[in-house]
Structure 1
Amino acid sequence: MYEDEGELTPEQIEGLLAAMDTGKEVVAGSKIHRIMVTASERAMRITSRMNAQFNSMSDTLAQLETLFGRPLPKGVGLFPPFTTDCGLNTHLGEGVFINSGCRFQDQGGIYIGERALIGHNCVIATLNHNMDPSRRGNVTPSPVHIGADAWLGANVTVLPGVNIGDGAVVGAGAVVTKDVPARTLVAGVPAREIRRL
């Protein structure tokens, strides 16, 4: 793994992930919010380096391990460029493939099951801002779960708190605003069920 020159301590990372797991609103400017900003800066340093020049798949995966802070499961693949707001709360199963141009906002937790395929330019979001303009900088985390053998087509957006079932397919360009049952094809904006698979 690459050496990380980030400023986060293991205790700060543990505290950040624990705070995200509560699902409680994070107040802008609070201690945990400042740690989120530091984590974002760390992620930008690593992904900028990873995306700047492709040397080999093994090099890219080594940098991804540094970004995630843990070894990758067997068979994971990623085509850069790839960006994330944090990197420390993305969890991949074996054989996951992430195509180029994807953007993960993973503070709230992104969980992708085995052999899932994430198409070009997908966006997975796990934070919502407060609707009150006076508190708009506050954020509330909500995890996204993508099941084993699911397939997100190109340019899909998945919103916070969505669960996509095992073997489901999300058509290109869809915006997924609610849960998708297993082995179901959805498409459109917002995504709607097309048929069972």
Structure 2
Amino acid sequence: MNMDDFIEFCKQGNPITGEDKELHGLLIQNSYEAIRITTQLNTSSHSREEIVDIFSELTGNKVDPSFMCFPPFHTDFGKNITFGKNVFLNTGCSFQDRGGIRIGDGSMIGMNVAIATLNHGLDLETRNTTFPSPVVIGKNVWIGSNATILPGVTIGDNSVVAAGAVVTKDVPENTVVAGVPAKFMKEIK
């Protein structure tokens, strides 16, 4: 399997076991590439245009010129992130994107937000297998600083995730959630 086939395999949501040496080797190779690119991003100053170019290289997709990120930014895969227009990432975000992260137009991601898309099996037989579940963030979402979004979560359009929240379940549109685990606080009108 070549790297393009492997990236497509991952985008299709396939699990990977630690015993599968070929897939594990490709995963490590891709991760080191993501580390190389994010190290370039995080260790020197860049213009907004340069940051857009770096994220385009990282994701393998053209990132809209309206995108903005304040580094540092970290990811372990990079090739399964999709950004809409006018997306903002504040400093210190960390994305585990092999399972897929899609962020809609106008969304703002606060400082030190972590987004995870992988889980391990609970049983010992599957403990070293990673199971992907995508995270979908709608349009005009605001995720507060230090929030954590867990695998498989969808956050509806116009919603707000309070700082420090741990989102374990889907968030309906036009909703504020807060807490650990995140719970409904109020509707946005």
**Shared fold by TM > 0.5?**
yes
Gaps of 5+ in 1: 1-8
TM-score (normalizing by structure 2): 0.93
**Structure 2 Cα separation of the partners of residues 165 and 29 of structure 1:** 37
Equivalent position SS for 1:75: coil
* Contact 2:52–2:65 (8 Å) recurs in 1: no
Alpha-carbon shift at residue 134 of structure 1 (Å): 4.4
**What one-letter code is carried by the residue in structure 2 that aligns with 1:48?**
T
Q: Percent identity?
A: 43
* Contact 1:76–1:96 (8 Å) recurs in 2: yes
Match of 2:10 in 1: 20
Alpha-carbon shift at residue 131 of structure 1 (Å): 1.2
Gaps of 5+ in 2: none
Cα deviations by residue, 1:58-108 (Å, 9 ceiling, x for unpaired) = 222221111111211241111100010111000000111111100000000
The partner residue of 1:85 within 52, 76, 82 is 76
Alpha-carbon shift at residue 32 of structure 1 (Å): 2.3
2:133 counterpart of 1:142: yes
Describe how 1:148-163 pairs up with structure 2 within 5 A. Answer: 148-163=139-154
Match of 2:66 in 1: 75
Alpha-carbon shift at residue 29 of structure 1 (Å): 3.5
Match of 1:166 in 2: 157
Give the CA RMSD over aligned residues: 1.5
Alpha-carbon shift at residue 19 of structure 1 (Å): 2.5
Equivalent position SS for 2:115: strand
2:119 counterpart of 1:119: no
Relative distance call for 1:156 and 1:51 in structure 2 (3 A) is: same
Relative distance call for 1:46 and 1:176 in structure 2 (3 A) is: same
TM-score (normalizing by structure 1): 0.90
The partner residue of 2:170 within 156, 179, 183 is 179
Q: Which runs of 4+ in 1 moved over 4 A?
A: none
Cα deviations by residue, 1:153-193 (Å, 9 ceiling, x for unpaired) = 00010000000000000000000000000000000000000
Equivalent position SS for 2:16: coil
* Contact 1:79–1:99 (8 Å) recurs in 2: yes
Aligned residue pairs: how many? Answer: 187
2:33 counterpart of 1:42: yes
**Structure 2 Cα separation of the partners of residues 29 and 161 of structure 1:** 25
